Each structure stands twice: as structure tokens, then as C-alpha cells.
Amino acid sequence: MGELAPDEGIVQVELADYDGKGIEPERLQLLARTIRELHTNLARLLNIDQGLLRFKYFDSGSSTLLGILCKKELAKTISDLILQWWDKLRFYDFDTLEKKIEAVERATAMAEKLNQAVGAGAVEMETAKNLTRRIFQGVDTLMGIGVTPPLEAEATIDQKTLLLAKRDTKLLDIGDVPKAETESGDRVE
């Protein structure tokens, strides 16, 4: 993998292989596009130079483990968002819609980052709110295509089963998860 510079970090995520036959190129394209947009929006909100963004490694198994190289603060923020969103998705059925929205806002700490960015004059409030919404949409899209934080080997929840059951579940009513189309016109979710 090589050495990381002091200002670099790795975002580790898993991409589910739903049917055991591999991951469609269209899902990888949507993953790459969504990660790029999420990275760009967070960098702008946090007033951080975007720097390098690269897929550092792919490790296949029943799911594919991905390592995404970027600035350390962005890597931590993206990792935290994905972990917090995953936790909310796992316990989705136990919350009311109002509680879900409140929990996502509180748990992600995006409100604090938003206020810091506005207070520092990095962005105006309206821009910060727009970027925050785009960030939430990006994380929601990632979950919709089967991205999760890496689970511990001893995890008791069957990640693939949960993802299949929650495939169309939206934590926030912020639009549909983009669907990728194969060359033959089939939809890939």
C-alpha cells in the first residue's frame, strides 16, 4: 500500500456483492462519481484544499473492501459519515421519520461543521446548507448502491442480507438513489 503523507488518510468501505457474481461496472462508476462529489462538497464546506483523491486498493471477497486516499480530515469526515449513516440504516425500523431526521442531523455533526464554516466566513449559510444537503445525498446514494463501513469479522449482522432488505430505504426524503444502466439498458441498483 505504501506510506501515507502526514496529511493523508484512507477511507475504508465495503461494496456489497449482492448476488455473488461480482460487481457491475455501472455500480463502480456510480461509486466513483459519488465519492468524487462527496469529497468535493466536503472540501468546500470545510474549506480544505481537496488535494489528492485516489482509489488506493480493492480487496475482493464476499464483498469488496476499498481504500480511498485523500486528505486526512476529509477521510475522517467521510468515514464518520458513512459509519453514522450505516448505524441509522441498521436501526431504521425502530425510529419514526421525525426521529430519523433529527438523529441523522445530530449524529453526523454536520450542523457543527456547517456553523464553523459559516462562522469562519468560508461559505455563506445558504451555500453551507446546500452543500450539507448534497453531502447527505451522496452518503445516501452510497448506501443505496451497497457501500458500508467495513464490519468486524465477528459482526453478528449479515451485512448483505440487511443491504438487500434496505436497498430502497431512504433515511431522508431527498430524492431517489441514482440508478446506473448497463449497455443493454438494464437497470443496476
Task: Tell me the per-residue pLDDT of 143-167, one tens digit each, with 9 for 90 and over.
Answer: 888 898 887 654 444 555 665 555 5
Nearest Cα neighbor of 110 from 170, 172, 186 is 172
Q: Out of 48-52, 65-69, 126-130, 161-165, pick the least confident.
A: 161-165
Q: Give dist(CA 171, CA 151) in Å, integer.
A: 20
Q: Give dist(CA 47, CA 146) in Å, integer.
A: 29
- Count the neighbouring beta carbons within 10 Å of the beta carbon of residue 75: 21
For 175, phi and psi rounded to 5 degrees? Answer: 105, 165
Strand partners, 8: 71
Report the predicted TM-score, pTM, of the whole model to 2 decimal places: 0.73
